[in-house]
Amino acid sequence: MVGGSNPSFATNPLPVSLLSALSVPALRSLVAVVVLVVSGLALPAAAIAARQLPNDAHFAKGAGFAYPYVKIGATTLRLAVGGKIYNQSNLIIVPVSAPPVANVLYKTDMNGEISQIWILTDEEAHTYATKPFDTPGAPSRQ
132 strand-pairing partners: none
pLDDT in tens, the chain (142 residues): 555 566 555 565 555 565 566 677 766 776 777 776 666 655 555 455 578 999 899 999 999 999 999 999 999 999 999 999 999 999 999 999 999 999 999 999 999 999 999 999 999 999 988 876 543 344 444 5
Give the per-residue pLDDT at 16.
Answer: 56
Q: What is the 3-state secondary structure (H, E, C) of the chain?
A: CHHHCCHHHHHCCCCCCHHHHCCHHHHHHHHHHHHHHHHHHHHHHHHHHCCCCCCCCEEEEEEEEECCEEEECCEEEEEEEEEEEECCCCCEECHHHCCCEEEEEEEECCCCCEEEEEECCHHHHHHHHCCCCCCCCCCCEC
Domain map of the chain by residue range? 8-49, 58-129
Record the pTM: 0.60
93 strand-pairing partners: 85
Give the per-residue pLDDT at 9.
Answer: 54
